[in-house]
Chains A and B, each alone.
Chain A
Amino acid sequence: MSPVCQSSDQGRNMQSKVEPALRLARSDAPTPAVESDRPRFSDVHVDRNPGTALDLDIIRGLRVNRSAVERRAATIPARRTVKKEWQAGWLLRAITLIDLTTLAGDDTPGNVRRLCAKAARPVRADLMASLGVSDLSLTAGAVCVYHAMVPAAVEALRGTGIPVAAVSTGFPAGLSPVEERVREIRASVAAGAREIDIVITRGHVLTGNWQALYDEVKTFRDACSDAHMKSILATGELGTLVNVARASMVAMMAGSDFIKTSTGKESVNATLPVSLVMTRMIREYLQHTGYAVGYKPAGGIRSAKNALEYLYLMKEELGPRWLKPDLFRFGASGLLTDIERQLEHFVTGRYSAAHRHPMV
């Protein structure tokens, strides 16, 4: 089988760069041969998005055609697939992108510690050996919990390098008094959370009060200080894809490090069409400002196949740079088990069972 077209040569007759280069902390980043005009794949962290002024012309000029978005979203899983070694490699990468999450009323330090242990050693050692990746020190992207569980998680993850993320600002509805929401962020940061997943006031979107949304997110960002902020838009409650686009753009202008679909508590959570709209907005923002914002779909992503579909989408729409944990996360928990099952199937050729893998 002859190789598929792709090389690192510059475009013929290319007149201009399509996108401004990412703002990188180091400019001598290694650049493996991939799409030449895309942001470079690299190990360095991107500069944090400082945000911009609210530009209502941009917000109001955004257009989203739902039917066309759905058609494109439907073909992404049909146009790309990875098999065998490639599938195993992609699934291992997917694990590093998971925010292992527990957000239940009955969370205790006990089950949170269990989750943290899984985050640190997500795949059975024998499988890692069979895959030839024992030296990889593979971990999940983060552990995501309520504020009350932050101390237990920080303690459990000490020395692993895995960050603790705290959902905050009156999660999931985000309707508690604004001072309390800000205090909550500060408390979680003080307790050791390095990432804060805030929720926006959906009403600001539904009433088109972009200034209020911008001010709110900016306030939260200030409160986050050095902690990275993921802005949960609760897309399932925003009504239309145009609202999703506008809320995404406002959240980025207000300084979000990530934009995130859902709390996991809405009736509709992450979907490919919503993700397509949000990633297109990330690209738009990058083109306007040069800053790369991360993306986190959350809720309902349970199968390895589904996770791969999201990775195809990221690679196709934003490029491979968005396949690293500083710019992409899954909000999920059960997903990990299915990935483990698929990895074992790759190793043994037999379909695996959930109970063969240490539970999340």
Chain B
Amino acid sequence: MTTVREVFETMEYGPAPESDTAALEWLARHDAKFGQYIGGSWTKSSSPFEVINPANNKRIALVSQGSKKDVDAAVKAARKALPAWQLLGGHGRAKYLYALARAVQRNARLLAVIESMDNGKSIRETRDIDVPLVARHFYHHAGWAQLMDSEFVGYHGAGVVGQIIPWNFPLLMLAWKVAPALAAGCTVVIKPAEFTPLTALAFAELADAIGLPAGVLNIVTGDGDTGKLIVDHADVDKIAFTGSTEVGRLIRKATAGSGKKLSLELGGKSPFIVFEDADLDSVVEGVVDAIWFNQGQVCCAGSRLLVQEGVSERLIEKLRARMETLRVGPPLDKSVDMGAIVAPVQLERIRSLVEAGVEEGAQMWQPSWACPTEGSFFPPTLFTNVHPSSSIAQVEIFGPVLVTMTFRTPREAVALANNTPYGLAASVWSENINLALDVAPKIKAGVVWINSTNLFDAAAGFGGYRESGFGREGGREGMYEYLKRDRISVTDDLAAGRAAKATARAAAKAAAAWKPIRRAAELDDADRGGPLVDRTPKLFIGGRQARPDSGYSIRVTGADGRILGEVGEGNRKDLRNAVEAAHAALGPWSKASGHNRAQVLYYIAENLAARSPEFADRIFAMTETDGVAEVEAAVKRLFTYAAWADKYDGLIHQVPLRGVALAMNEPMGVMGIACPDEYPLLGLVSLIGPALAVGNTVVAVPSERAPLAATDFYQVLETSDVPAGVVNIVTGSRDALVKTLAEHDDVDAVWYFGSREGVRAVELASAGNMKRTWAEFDSRVWMDLDEGEGRHFLREATQVKNIWIPYGE
């Protein structure tokens, strides 16, 4: 027994355990055994699996493995609850979300203790970070529910959503998923991770207690098999997943062509960049919060420390000293900095990666103290002598392991930061505002924290670039993940058939009424004194007309069967060249001012308008539709996006700190765009317009049936000050070409408007680098102003980067 007298002398920290009594009582009330929460009631426990406390390897509870029957029942319950939940309206849903926020606050400590026992994370974190953020998320989204009818006009809830969440922030991830879904008017089937299902089950009780209507929230526990059942379920309208990039890729493939909306929040290897003028002592604490928060099991953990060479040694010394004072121990002890790793299998993974790092010659450093031997613990670990080529510098370790590298210049820092397939988060440390704000936009990441790290708030979107996934959670941008835009056209075949017939009728009518402008093309050879001068449409790559690599051409016939010409048959190499040209153009174009891009777009419109009779004829010849109207609409549309070019502003989110979170709309990068067959000119312009307005460069594959409007269009581009490579046009077999674009790892986004099979192929191929896709097979009414243009096109052409800027001197 330690005496007061001894403590007076040694001034050691003693044990400071948070009581687990209430949590144990809660478990006892359930006989430590749980079924599924489906349709507002609990099923009997079946196919139970063990839930283990990783701090002592003891069993806490038995939880049921969700079967096909369970998932079917849950989806059915969600479907059944959906109409009433949507009808309830924003205010009605807001009241439930508010009640959930309150219920979380009333039961905050119980949830915090259960979370700590289940996951192994420290009670300090669950108490001070996880659970308060959960409540905050429900409050914030109560607000979005309230405002949905006024702030999201033209949108409706996506429907039944299936959600699969990870074990690192079990309840917080549930909140991130459930709150926006419920606010938007969706009903939910959510599967917590098999390692950490308990707080979700406790949350189900809270939802039940506040009277959330049966079926609005269904919780099905189980492992990856259960998750797969949710992903594959035909009656689910949207899948939201947080977890590994590996599983995210499987989900992208599994949902390809299904019409399911998808958001993925995946892995990361986030850079933590320290410039020589940073407050190094604060940097050290930043590193603690970056990589030794939640034992490093954080998708956005700052796991790659990039330090300017001149201060590297000093910083590493400071870090080592700091590591000595970190305390690892029982998660429920209120005086520990780090708790347990979630499970032995994860501990093993960390160990093996660390061993690999040592074998590769990196210098490892760990503090002198030893971790508890019982339970899954791993000490904070620092690697120096690491290079971009080291596996520990590339692989997401998901543990308390930091690798450090040095850089010489801001440019090199950015290059190192972006030298990863991931793009979730970044941290930038400098006391020079010019430097910090210059670097932040250059980093490919969905979140950038200036002089801070791992800050989260419901008001600011969180989510990745590149292979860290897509979609945002939190803020206005996050709401769209659970909304669908009201559409004029409908997806079922019957209606599509009707629409096609209507289009055909309209075409016939237009043909009958067409008064072609009599020009050379309409004259007989005899009148003209010989044939027309032959024209060879080419591909348009890097600002030059290029012959197709294949050496083949494709014949283009008019609606009346006449041969109108031949276009080049583009192939993989043409696309490769086009993508390279688009990349070369991307930097200057994306950095050009909106004003500058607007001028270019206006100029394109001007030059198109000047040649409108020629384009109208061409369109009519190809499609026998009203070419005059289409050209007029295309000119208007270009004006629309010229107008938008300097107006698609970001937001300043009100996050709870002295500072701002800038939600910047950044271009995707290089976009592949496969145009619809109908409206050969308007379709092209409607898609490249928004893409260009926000700073993307484009490789466009025009209408396969009617490509000549697009090949004529490059002459307009050539005369309109469009920088070389900003727009590239490759004609040919559209679906084959777009598949190559969708597979291309250096294409950032693909839009596709074509067949159902084509949608599937694009979405499937996109899984390679997790590029963003917007793929539709149901015809859009391109002439309609609401459906053919506007903010939603711009949103699809951008991704939101949140830059957190705390300030204060």
Contacts and interface: CB of A to CB of B under 8 A. Distances in A.
A65 B16 contact: no
Interface string A55-92: 00000000111111111100000111111111011101
A136 B8 contact: yes
A35 B14 contact: no
Interface string A221-232: 000000000000
A277 B331 CA distance: 29
Nearest to B122: A79
Interface string B1-44: 11111111111111111000000000000000000000000000
Contacts of B330: 1-2, 4
A200 to B, nearest CB: 21
B367 interface: yes
Interface string B621-660: 0000000000000000000000000000000000001110
Contact of A83 (B15, B317, B328, B429): B15
A78 B365 contact: no
Contacts of B1: 85
B246 interface: no
Interface stretch (B371-379, B551-559, B597-605): B371-379
A315 interface: yes
A323 B658 CA distance: 33
Interface stretch (B280-288, B347-355, B507-515, B683-691): B280-288
B23 to A, nearest CB: 15
B366 A13 contact: yes
For chain B, give the interface size range.
Answer: 35 or more
Nearest to B314: A287
Interface string B274-305: 00011111110110010000000000000000
B806 interface: yes
B88 to A, nearest CB: 39
Contact of B327 (A6, A14, A71): A6
B285 A71 contact: yes
Interface in B431-477: 431, 451-452
A80 B191 CA distance: 35
A19 B317 CA distance: 9
A1 B281 contact: no
Query: By DSSP majority rule, is chain A's interface helix, strand, loop, or mixed?
Result: loop
B340 to A, nearest CB: 10
A84 B10 contact: no
A280 B322 CA distance: 12
Contacts of A36: 324, 368
B11 A323 contact: yes
A155 interface: no
Interface string B315-333: 0011011001101111001
Interface in A4-46: 4-14, 16, 18-19, 32, 34-38, 41
B681 to A, nearest CB: 52
Contact of B282 (A19, A68, A81, A136): A68
A68 B279 contact: yes
Contact of B7 (A6, A18, A38, A85): A85
B4 A85 contact: yes
A288 to B, nearest CB: 12
Given A3-B372, A89-B11, A67 B807 contact: yes
Interface string A286-328: 0000000000000000000000000100011000100100000
Interface string A182-220: 000000000000000000000000000000000000000
A9 B369 contact: yes
Contact of A78 (B128, B317, B367): B128
14 contacts: A5-B379, A11-B368, A14-B365, A18-B321, A32-B9, A32-B10, A36-B368, A41-B11, A68-B286, A85-B7, A86-B2, A86-B12, A92-B4, A133-B5
The 5 A-B residue pairs with the shortest CB-CB distance, nearest first, are: A89-B7, A86-B14, A4-B329, A68-B282, A67-B806
Given A11-B367, A35-B324, A69-B279, 20 more contacts: A5-B328, A9-B369, A11-B365, A18-B324, A19-B321, A38-B321, A63-B431, A65-B279, A66-B808, A67-B658, A67-B659, A68-B279, A81-B334, A82-B7, A88-B7, A92-B4, A132-B5, A242-B809, A280-B281, A316-B325
Interface of B: 1-17, 56, 124, 128, 277-283, 285-286, 289, 317-318, 320-321, 324-325, 327-330, 333-337, 363-375, 377, 379, 429, 431, 451-452, 657-659, 806-809
